[in-house]
Structure 1
């Protein structure tokens, strides 16, 4: 479970309320798409990661832009660092090339495989998993992630995205 301060939770609920007031159902559907539903459903079951977790990470990392490459070199929907992608692929006997990370389904599989690895490493503690995914395991373990506003915001964005994806997937 992710622990967020009461003041931050109030802020999250205010954002959700404002979003719902101004966009309604159509806004939720368009702002929180269910692209790659069949593929994500299959990959979710294969690696035992909830679909709303996968969708939320994709929403936060790339906003479903398939071919985006960050200034740090992270690639694709789930913003996989090439070194992480290569490591995950090789450790699971999957083919790998940096170019393959631009394939949406392959990117989702490698990203979900990494989430699965982090879930095992951190005993299912979603907050630790998300911090490690965003800032890196070493920053999680030495506590330096707390200095990064980006990572704190990542956790808030995750809560919001997961809320909406849980609703979207419930009615799918």
Structure 2
């Protein structure tokens, strides 16, 4: 499923580690379920999109259902936010509508580390940092070449995507 969605395995493992610490049948106080802490409503709609038959909320507690749905949702967030893993990670946690509101309104590019520090939700800010940290650890564990953090963190562009020279910002 990860290869099919063309998403970084280390990033998925980073999300799983941050969401559930690899506890398969975990549930959150707000109702998110399983390894990737998928909300049942999101699970149902993503299951339909990826052609997963006989979806039941209880199946989100099993890796064979949860991971394909969670990784497909990650891919949706990645596509929505122009392959920017920082924005996609924040959207996975806080929702894409919130992340869209947090994008810079002016025409300047924002550095991703600054953008992360400006996330208004403490939980999401810490979550994004943890996922980036865990993703680097999984790169190392999977014997992937070292990737500097700046390669993982694409610049944050304004909502309207009209960018002017950085020097004039």
TM range (shorter): 0.7 to 0.9
CA offsets, 1:84-110, max 9 Å, x none?
100101122212110111111210110
Q: TM-score, normalised by structure 2?
A: 0.73
Question: Contact between 2:43 and 2:60, CA under 8 Å: does it hold in 1?
Answer: yes
Stretches of 4+ aligned residues off by more than 4 angstroms = none
Count the aligned residue pairs: 129
* Structure 2 counterpart of 1:127, from 80, 83, 86: 86
Once the two structures are TM-superposed, the CA of residue 114 in structure 1 deviates from its matched residue by 0.4
CA offsets, 1:53-93, max 9 Å, x none?
11000000000011111000000000000011001011222
Secondary structure in 2 aligned to 1:146?
Answer: coil
2:97 is equivalent to residue 138 of structure 1:
yes
1:6-155 matches, cutoff 5 A: 43-95=1-53, 96-143=55-102, 146-155=119-128
* In 2: Cα distance, 1:128 partner to 1:111 partner: 16
Match of 1:9 in 2: none
Quick check: which one's helix share is greater?
1
Report the RMSD for the aligned CA atoms in angstroms: 1.5
Question: Contact between 2:11 and 2:132, CA under 8 Å: does it hold in 1?
Answer: no
* In 1: Cα distance, 2:125 partner to 2:64 partner: 28
Name structure 2 gaps, 5 residues minimum.
Answer: 104-117, 145-169
CA offsets, 1:2-39, max 9 Å, x none?
xxxxxxxxxxxxxxxxxxxxxxxxxxxxxxxxxxxxxx
* In 1: Cα distance, 2:128 partner to 2:78 partner: 16
Once the two structures are TM-superposed, the CA of residue 132 in structure 1 deviates from its matched residue by 0.5
